[in-house]
Amino acid sequence: MENKVILTMRGISMTFPGVKALDHVDFTLRQGEIHALMGENGAGKSTLIKCLTGINAFESGEIRVDGIEGPVVNHSTLDAQKKGISTVYQEVNLCPNLSVAENLFIGREPRTKIGTINRREMNTRAAAIMKELQIDIDVTENLENFSLAIQQMIAIARAVDMECKVLILDEPTSSLDDHEVEKLFILMNKLKAQGVGIIFVTHFLEQVYAVCDRITVLRNGQLVGEYPIADLPRVKLVAAMMGKDFDDLASIKGDMAVDLSHADYYIEAQGLSHKGTIKPFDFTIKKGEVVGLTGLLGSGRTELARVLYGADKAQTGTMKVNGKEVKINAPIEAMQLGMGLLPDDRKAEGIIADLSVRENIILAMQAKQGVFRQISMKEQQEIADKYIEMLSIKTASRETLIRQLSGGNQQKVILARWLATDPDFLILDEPTRGIDIGTKTEIQKLVLKLAKEGKSIIFISSEIEEMLRTCSRMVVLRDGVKVGELTDELTQNHVMQAIAGGDTDE
């Protein structure tokens, strides 16, 4: 029997300046189901969620929630919470300086007779909640002492304990490793069994097929359709999201393969290290080569790149760039040498939200030239337009504030920023995280194109498949040590074994 419907959204429309963000979108959520909301960047997933939770006001349409008479319009997250709709975001929205128990109960603490907070009862109840989720932690410790995964679980626990009927998980797995994702899925299935309806927004196709019952696909602010998971194999899902047939991604490298045996080395590094983050390593990269850094999250792949770039100063070892010995003390020196780094944490280290797309693109170029050599406005506009066109950045204009762009498009702007400096060597740390599969392919193609122009590129990604498609060599890291390099036999299996280390039995 079909489960009871607990949430219906009908004909939701909403316009941002210049863009129709949602155009008569319908969405239905049933009790005890995990419902994936899929779509490319800018398809309207976040906007739809924000309409539901009251962050954005929708222009037309109607939301109905089971158990509440008449149409529902939320004016704030708090409003939505009171109606049983809770959201857990990618960035954990808890207070790091308070204890786990307080984070679970703040705003609705158990009280004593005289109205003060009953800390003992709060701690007991918090411990019970955590025990039920099989998370073994001391609830009186501060939240900041725990991993992001645990913090996310606590955020979910809080939402669920507030008796929510609809739980929205907005890209909850982006910063979790496989093991942690596994834990999250166990929790999601448990909640599903309790009858909570879960809306799961993610970019990871595997995860959708691992836990979801149903998929709703959006494209360009319009509803493509709602499908039971069994009726929508991957290829069809990708096709639905992109609106075209899925060209074979694996083939993009083939025709671009280049013979590098006669190319010069761009970087030759020996025995570089940074205390506490990465043990001494040797590293070389040739002109026109794409080298992948692979390993688990925290294995030292970002840290290796940071040492090369001078973001963490190398404490030992020597480094040659173009055959000349150099010492890089700070990123600006690396930039002068023609290097560029696209950081993995684009919110914290990348975009400047209140500047326009053009200004964000020009930023690194201006820094490289020095403050006094002004780039003329005309030149700036030309450069900005060139990259908006080249990377197909979706923006109302080049003067739009970057904060108004979707996450994937912001990522492209930062990529454009580094391309504009015309670097010889680019480090791309997770350049495709959080962006849709179509854009991913574009970025991968771009990487190969840049390599063909003779640029050297370090590519860091959690997705092995993606690296297999772009890199001709892979450096494997484990626990801050460079454990090996793979050149031949670049297959998923092979790389996985190298990352995992130890015995090679399956």
Residue numbers of the site for other proteins (CB under 8 A)?
77-78, 81, 92-98, 102-103, 106-109, 115-117, 119, 138, 140-142, 144-145, 158, 276
Minimum distance, C-beta of residue 295 to other proteins, in the bound complex (Å): 18
250: tokens are 């694996």
CB nearer to other proteins: give 155 or 242.
155
- CA-nearest of 466, 474, 465, 476 to 443 is 466
Nearer to other proteins, 98 or 260 (CB): 98
b/e string for 295-324 if b means 16 or more Cβ within 10 A? bbeebbbbbbbbbbbbbbebeebebebeee
For the bound state, the minimum distance from the C-beta of residue 76 to other proteins, rounded and expressed in Å, comes to 9
Q: What is the C-alpha to C-alpha distance for residues 257 and 244, in angstroms, rounded to an integer?
A: 27
CB of 402 to other proteins, least distance (A): 19
Is 32 or 110 the residue whose CB approaches other proteins more closely?
110
For residue 2, the Cα-to-chain-centroid distance in whole angstroms is: 34
Quick check: 19 and 395 in contact, CB under 8 A? no
Closest approach of other proteins to the CB of residue 425, in Å: 28
Nearer residue to other proteins within complex by CB, 106 or 367: 106
Q: 3-class DSSP state for residue 52?
A: helix
For residue 150, what are its two tokens?
């645990």
CB of 306 to other proteins, least distance (A): 14
Q: Which helix (H) or strand (E) element contains residue 301? A: helix 301-309
- Min separation Cβ 89 and other proteins, Å: 8
The nearest distance, CB 201 to other proteins, in angstroms, is 17
Identify which of 203, 149, 204 has the alpha carbon closest to the alpha carbon of residue 181: 149
CB nearer to other proteins: give 76 or 504.
Answer: 76
* Residue 398 and residue 385 in contact, taking contact as beta carbons nearer than 8 Å: yes
Which of 275, 324 has the CB closer to other proteins? Answer: 275
By C-beta, is 86 or 461 nearer to other proteins?
A: 86
d(CA 374, CA 382): 15
